[in-house]
Amino acid sequence: MARTISFELTDKVVVVTGAGRGIGKSIALIAAEYGADLALGSRNVAEIEEVAAECRALGRRAEAWSLDVSKVASIRAFVDKTLETFGRIDVLVNNAGYNTPKPALEYTEEEFDYISDVNFKGAFFMSTMVAQSMIERGIEGSIITISSQVGVVGGPLRSIYSAAKGAVGQFTRSLAAEWAPHKITVNAVAPTFTRTPLLEAAIKNPSFAKNLEKVPMGRIAEPEEIAGAVIYLASPAARMVTGQILCVDGGFTAV
């Protein structure tokens, strides 16, 4: 066994969903800096085209295609296109997410379905379709899903989102055990409040904004800090890490 610890992703094909902004954009750019080629997915193709161009400027191959993770047919088309273009997928980062913070008594069935579909169903079917490609090609891959601190401990105004992210934690553990014989690692990263457009919209609600005071480190996270955890889990340094939820939460879940 090599003694050198490596975080390099040179020539690995990395898929990032929801890659047009915030955490997803940071993951894509830092993965490119570490040598990865990128397949980027989002409903907003114009945004991910810009991110892909930045990755290419770093000397990496990068493609951007439409992806709606709430629809299984869209997931299938995206995975097929990635395999057709790159020939393989080494790392999947399920980053796409959605939430509408509000009291539980006010949610509609349509809101329940959409929040669940994006955060839970989409991540599950992205994972299974990519894992199938890894198993068929004998790839010792990595699957990483962006969860949330409230998927670990829950939180007011986020009942559906918390439940969906809690489900992410459970399928992470289950799939890790199921796919370990194929040498596929499955992990999740649970961020605290992170500087993203989604957070900026959420904190306009004064009731939600009060939650920021609960972070022991006394600040919100930067997208790059979440990306660092993802790069670790995707790298050779983490090949014995699987079935874990890595909280990058400034101590939120510790108190």
**Which domains does the chain carry?**
13-247 (3.40.50.720)
Does the pLDDT of residue 76 top 90, yes or no?
Answer: yes
- Judged by phi (left if over 0) then psi (alpha if -120 to 50, else beta), residue 157 lies in left
Does the pLDDT of residue 3 top 70, yes or no?
Answer: no
Find, among 244, 242, 239, 247, the residue nearest to 5 by Cα: 239
Instruction: State the catalytic residues.
Output: 161
Question: What average pLDDT does range 219-228 have in this prediction?
Answer: 95
- Judged by phi (left if over 0) then psi (alpha if -120 to 50, else beta), residue 21 lies in beta
Please state, for a pLDDT cut of 70, what percent of the chain lies above it: 99
Distance between CA atoms of residues 244 and 135, nearest Å:
21
Distance between CA atoms of residues 33 and 185, nearest Å:
22
Q: How confident is the model at residue 212 (pLDDT cuts 50, 70, 90)?
A: confident
Q: In what order do the strands lie in the sheet with 245-248?
A: 62-66, 37-42, 13-17, 91-94, 142-146, 185-191, 245-248
Q: In the prediction, which pLDDT does 186 show?
A: 99
Does the pLDDT of residue 198 top 80, yes or no?
Answer: no
Distance between CA atoms of residues 234 and 237, nearest Å:
8
Residue 164 in tokens: 């969906």
Model confidence pLDDT, tens digit, residues 124-175? 999 999 999 999 999 999 999 999 999 999 999 999 999 999 999 999 999 9
Does the pLDDT of residue 84 top 90, yes or no?
Answer: yes
Does the pLDDT of residue 213 top 90, yes or no?
Answer: no
| Residue 14, beta-bridge partner list | 38, 91
Burial category of 221 from C-beta neighbours within 10 Å (exposed 0-12, middle 13-18, buried 19 and up): buried
Angle, nearest 10°, between helix axes 159-179 and 122-137? 10
